[in-house]
Structure 1
Amino acid sequence: MTTSLPRRRDTRALRGLSAVLCAALALLPTPANAQQGEGAIEVRVREFLQREVAGLPGEVSIELSPLDPNSQLPACAALEPFLPAGTRAWGRFSVGVRCDSPVTWTAYLQARVAVVADYLVAARPLRAGQVLGPADLGQRRGDLTALSDNVLTDPTQATGHHTRIAVAAGSPLRGDMLRVPHAVRQGQTVNVLGVGAGFRVASEGRAMNNAAPGEKVRVRLADGQVVTGTAQAGGTVELAF
């Protein structure tokens, strides 16, 4: 019958359409081969680093180097940035990103954190043992991450302190260059306060070593007994019972 010919044509057409659809579907990315977008990684890393640097003084900026374009990381449901052990978000460093689901991988980006702030410098040449006053201190603005660690940023961190070494004019001041003035000096007569639950006892003694406020000092009392207490301002030593 002549009616069978159109059916054969329809069958051939459907088969051809099915083949085209299968080929098109094969070109679409599947969950197994979907790639992780670099932009999402950088956003998560930047958010992580912003939390890490919160509270730093001055103007903080974060720069991230792009991932290797050949990395081809599988898509991740939950990105977890982290700092390698012993690394802090300061200057140039590596920051990691790990994925645990649906696949496991770890990648690293190069980052740079700059902290532009005012820091202290010697306003004039300072000799070793000098007690610092406001006239001895100057300020300069720059990237703290490009300087040595422990650079001082507040005049209160240096005023009244003694220099451990001679410092050239214009040199940045670090904490290790200074020491807190002694509250108690060796051989000094000190007031000894014994403080306990509901009582307070006072006596005098002679300090056996130098001590800054909060440091331990040994004291020989009038009866020859040696006690250890905490140095306080004004030549006082406190004993806790």
Structure 2
Amino acid sequence: MNQAAMNRAAKKSLLFAIAAFAAGTAQADAMNPAALRQTVEQFLQVQSAGLPGKVTVTVGNIDARMKLAACPAPEAFLMPGSKAWGKTTVGVRCAAPTPWTVYIQANVGVLGNYIAAATPLSQGQAITEGQLVTMQGDLATLPASIATDKAQVLGRTSNVSISAGTPLRLDALRSQPVVKNGEKVRLVSSGNGFSVSSEGKAVANAADGQVVQVRTAAGQAVSGIARAGGLVEVAF
């Protein structure tokens, strides 16, 4: 090989080396997709702490072709109206040295217990212990108002007929009235060192803890909190 050929080969090798170095530097200065995934996963773990069940966080695919500048402190956030529950979208942003924002799909599964009908339930039928069964599943795939404890539904009635195996929704159940329209009730009021009671007549149905209006013997309308046993607590 003559000197000219050797010089050309040396130059070519040098150019290859410079290109490889530049590519490596650019790769080092890019945001690692694994770091993005970890940021989203850790954020959702914190946001979902305290949920009623075993939480599993799954982060969606991150496009490896996405070129983002390296960020020393990426910040994850939820979009307005979003929550760390079921399918969700998490934003990740960088403030410096190069500002950018990306959005990453994720799923938060919550394995826990919920209450379902063990037998068919008729509309208006008071629910008893033997009509209930505890089941396990992903609560994030069920309605937000799903019952997770039998105590939440015992004694209540359904607004519709429910088939066996159907998860029970609290917004589809009605509490049994402890005060009924037209029935006599006892108005009670107590405080520091005193207690007063009188009789009246309820003008509506009310479950325990609900506000109900009562008409006194003198014809005055008062409002109070319905309690079991036909009592209405009134604040004076």
Residue number among 146, 159, 166 corresponding to 2:161 in the alignment: 166
The offset of 1:78, in angstroms, is 1.5
SS of 1:240's equivalent in the other structure is: coil
SS of 2:143's equivalent in the other structure is: coil
SS of 2:130's equivalent in the other structure is: helix
The offset of 1:125, in angstroms, is 1.0
Residue number among 62, 78, 81 corresponding to 1:86 in the alignment: 81
TM-score (norm 2): 0.85
1:126-205 aligned at under 5 Å gives the runs 126-196=121-191, 199-205=194-200
1:98-109 aligned at under 5 Å gives the runs 98-109=93-104
Farther off after superposition, 189-198 or 91-100: 189-198
The amino acid across from 2:202 in the alignment is A
Q: Are residue 65 (structure 1) and residue 60 (structure 2) matched?
A: yes
Which residue in the other structure is 1:16 paired with?
none
Which residue in the other structure is 1:213 paired with?
208
- CA–CA distance in 2 between the matches of 1:197 and 1:25? 85
Deviations 1:82-113 (A, max 9, x none): 11111112221211111112221111111011
The offset of 1:145, in angstroms, is 2.1
Alpha-carbon contact 1:64-1:112 (below 8 Å) kept: yes
- CA–CA distance in 2 between the matches of 1:25 and 1:95? 35
Gaps of 5+ in 1: 1-18
The amino acid across from 2:165 in the alignment is G
Question: How many residues in Structure 1 have an aligned counterpart in Structure 2?
Answer: 222
Deviations 1:31-82 (A, max 9, x none): xx81111222222211110111112222221111132112211111221111
TM-score (norm 1): 0.83
Identity across matched positions, percent: 42
Q: Are residue 124 (structure 1) and residue 119 (structure 2) matched?
A: yes
Which residue in the other structure is 1:237 paired with?
232
The offset of 1:237, in angstroms, is 0.9
Residue number among 69, 72, 79 corresponding to 1:77 in the alignment: 72
The offset of 1:118, in angstroms, is 2.2
Gaps of 5+ in 2: 1-13
Deviations 1:124-179 (A, max 9, x none): 11111111111110122222222233221211111111111111111111112211
Deviations 1:178-221 (A, max 9, x none): 11111211111111122456543211111111111221111111
- CA–CA distance in 1 between the matches of 2:182 and 2:94? 63
SS of 2:44's equivalent in the other structure is: helix
Alpha-carbon contact 1:194-1:240 (below 8 Å) kept: yes
SS of 2:70's equivalent in the other structure is: coil
- CA–CA distance in 2 between the matches of 1:198 and 1:74? 71
- CA–CA distance in 1 between the matches of 2:165 and 2:197? 47
Which residue in the other structure is 2:25 paired with?
29
